[in-house]
Chains A and B, each alone.
Chain A
């Protein structure tokens, strides 16, 4: 059972918030252990959601259901319910629309969808259920089906789990195909010709026989009056744009001239700025604070439960004044906690050898006579998100004609959860809380949290009637994050005569991200097994005839959250380093070893796809061919394979070790099977992004806890890979007939083990711990 988390919002001393049935269902759904509650809880909302229609454009034209509008000038706006944090999802929605409509890319626009339950993201929830992906048995199917109904009725949505594209593609394509059909019908009435004589290309409807053309803008209004219909989607073979290189993201131009607006760029008339300082020890609170004499620039000071803040006419002035405050903190129960304590508790959990069993195959306890034993313990540290844009939130809380109203501008990863949870905090009715989502300067899972908004609303109360932007310093951002968990793992295997494992045991120890998230976001209890803790260790595509995977929940109070690729980020390191150690013990090449493990898993469709991906990475990286040597150093290649978020990625890293302790990653090859690469240029970009994100962590990333607080504070002591130490990253796309997989996170899990395995290949020394540099 988890211990109580010490990371709380400043609501803990107040009356519990009214928790409706909806939130109970969300808890069950998100923690992934619940079985769907009876259909009686799910009421009328389900039908209402399906019929949502966007408001019509102001300048003529029409809206075409929930996903697109076409205005009188022929501008086509694709509405996306996912937030843009660099993954390109909003532009992807526009591309999907453009292809089905046969629009000109130049007439496409992208916009955030309204915040309504109509845009439910069932995948985020379904992906977290504790069933294997290939489990199509009755219980799994029934649960998934029922949960989908529940989720769609509630309307929960968010941007995470690399689900965006998969979530929207069907709805968007159907809506655009229907709109195209409606445009053509309107055109054929206008031109008085049979619809079969019309063609569409690049936003122009043409009747070749009479040499007449119409633009979308000419017929959009008429088309909008027709009934939506089921229209045939384009087969991939007919795509003019999707699947080919040369697609250009709609958000790129504004990101090269400084005009793209991030949360911290919001500027409202009369806006004030707030600087904030949190209790340095996790779980601590403010005991007493004395502020200096106010200067004219300072408008308010705020004493929260676990923070103090200053509101002024500029952020810099507020920050300077805040730094002068004399604060006494109640450090609370975690004041003596250190990383050494945390790892000691994990080690004890491994020694106790208990835990929740998430997967078994065959007979896990059965020893094999004469087999070689391989055992290894691994550990990884806490990691910060370190989004390039520090945390910030702009709130305008006021009374409008005597009625409280609140507008919030913030980079977030779930506007609808914000709407549900923050109306009470702001003291407004839900329909008087408006969420505005700008571009996000990085998300990585940090911006799904509500702490930033909760505090910004408390601060806004001090200057009610005036907008205020709360902005965190980098130090606050780094020290008051929700971290990728530190974790330990113990793996053991017995190898058979052919060197492959006949038996494998995996035991993981660490906290539960989902449990903590539900508690602090919605104040709901957990204690159910958290599937994200074992993602990347369960459902391995390798032939492992006797297997047990178990996890012991150890929560020490350090706040943990969703960090790009979540459980895969640490578990791929454990698994793929261990597979390499088994290969080394068997005296076999790590690539050949993996291929043998996959081939032995006959009949497993995933294994076949994995083989293709591995072979593609091997071919592109020159696996097996001599490596360019470096005087005074050792050079090695390492391989790692990870399936995450329905995509399969294999990475080969080429690493130069030495002179001394120096480690340089010279080159990375990533091969990815995401089913079908809708925008190949962006798929390459996202894979490179995932690689660099994971590489920075593998080489340098560590958040150390000392006396209950984070030691690191800025990029000066939380080092990042830069151009000079960035490897060249080549990406090979392996298209398959599989269903679409995600791309935003999938490049991250394999890079740490690929680099670690390269180091082992170069030096003979197995890597058991991250980061790789001191």
Chain B
């Protein structure tokens, strides 16, 4: 199965029905994308598929053949994405396990809505955070939205 992954060609051997999440984590050893529930209820597995936020735990790798996938590892080379800077400035992560998924969902949101309202954020970010980083996260998103050109 071939697809573009973080700007490079990927060629994977996993069965076509294997969810993209497990291809990323267990075949490609890209462990930034996380497993939280396996039923698309928590968002920890969020990646971009052709720029759209997509939960990957039930997405068969065959469905992304020929497409462009971005994972947290590809969000920037050096934590330079506006959201990553804002996340650090506002000290958003606590345990950190959900944060890759939130950053991928938030970056897709900002790409389509550069200045999202609180309602836009609520609608787009339905991921779960068990550490309750929601207040800091909301502030960071608004901050990054303000910082983006």
Contacts and interface: CB of A to CB of B under 8 A. Distances in A.
Q: Is the interface of A mostly helix, strand, loop or mixed?
A: loop
Nearest to A264: B35
Interface string B121-134: 11101111111111
Contacts of A251: 93, 96
A164 to B, nearest CB: 14
Contacts of B19: 316
B32 interface: yes
A240 interface: no
A258 to B, nearest CB: 2
Contacts of B127: 722-723
A519 interface: no
B26 A441 contact: no
A330 interface: no
A255 B38 CA distance: 21
Interface string A558-577: 00000000000000000000
A112 B116 CA distance: 40
Contacts of A716: 39, 41
Interface string A679-703: 0011001101111110000000000
Interface residues of A, number: 62
Q: Which size class do B's interface residues fall under?
A: 35 or more
A85 B93 CA distance: 11
Nearest to B22: A316
The winner among A255, A471, A682, A723 for most chain B CB atoms within 10 A is A723
A258 B72 contact: yes
B126 to A, nearest CB: 6
A305 interface: no
A685 B91 CA distance: 9
A730 to B, nearest CB: 9
Contacts of B99: 255-256
B103 A724 contact: no
Interface in A215-246: none
B137 A723 contact: yes
A282 B123 CA distance: 39
Contacts of A258: 30-33, 71-73, 100
A442 B75 CA distance: 24
B34 interface: yes
Interface string B34-68: 11111101101000000000000000000000000
A596 interface: no
B91 to A, nearest CB: 6
Given A258-B100, A390-B35, A729-B135, A442 B41 contact: no
A306 B15 CA distance: 31
Given A86-B131, A689-B133, A388 B97 contact: yes
B87 A256 contact: yes
Contact of B18 (A87, A257, A316): A316
Interface in A691-748: 691-693, 714-716, 720-724, 726, 728-729
A530 to B, nearest CB: 26
Interface in A243-286: 248-249, 251-262, 264-265, 267, 273
A544 interface: no
Interface of B: 14-15, 18-19, 22, 25-27, 29-39, 41-42, 44, 71-73, 75-76, 79, 84, 87-88, 91-100, 103, 121-123, 125-138
Interface of A: 84-88, 248-249, 251-262, 264-265, 267, 273, 314-317, 386-390, 439-444, 471, 473-474, 681-682, 685-686, 688-693, 714-716, 720-724, 726, 728-729
